[in-house]
Amino acid sequence: QVQLVESGGGSVQAGGALRLSCAASGHTRGTQSMGWFRQAPGKEREGVAAIAHGSSTIVYADSVKGRFTISQDKTKTTLNLQMNSLKVEDTAMYYCAAVDYALLTATMLTPGKYNYWGQGTQVTVAS
């Protein structure tokens, strides 16, 4: 089992920045990929950014490319998401997720592929 705890959410004006962190504990050695996902009210959960531990492949959703940066520490137990130039449409609950088997690059932003999830942290961007 892997436990994930997110932090760093909050409220910010459009154009501002926030940094989310996710602390992983438990059987983290088996995790193959970790990622950030978000879900706005009335919408489906969507992938934001993800990183594969073995290849260090990083993928971003088109909507956040150039604005968000995903990173992790050397122990691969802390996952970060630096969010710059925030927009109102970035408002959502943000979740950290991990998976303990290898994913194809094309599926790294697919929520259903991940088997461990945090409780989420709210990000609200005001106009």
pLDDT at 121: 98
pLDDT computed for residue 74 by the predictor: 86
Q: How much is the average pLDDT of 93-114?
A: 96
Write the pLDDT tens digit of every residue in 46-100.
999 999 988 889 999 999 999 999 999 888 899 999 999 999 999 999 999 999 9
| Residue 48 confidence (pLDDT) | 98
pLDDT digits (tens, 9 = 90+) for 115-126: 999 999 999 999
pLDDT digits (tens, 9 = 90+) for 47-58: 999 999 888 899
3-state secondary structure the chain: CEEEEEECCEEEECCCCEEEEEEEEECHHHCCEEEEEEECCCCCCEEEEEEECCCCCEEECCCCCCCEEEEECCCCCEEEEEECCCCHHHCEEEEEEEECCCCCHHHCCCHHHCCEECCCEEEEEEC
The residue written with tokens 């050397």 in the block is 74
Report the half-sphere exposure of 110 (CA within 13 A, side-chain side): 9
Whole-number Cα distances in Å, 105 to 25, 35, 86 = 24, 12, 26
**Residue in 42, 87, 24 with CA at minimum distance from that of residue 61:** 87
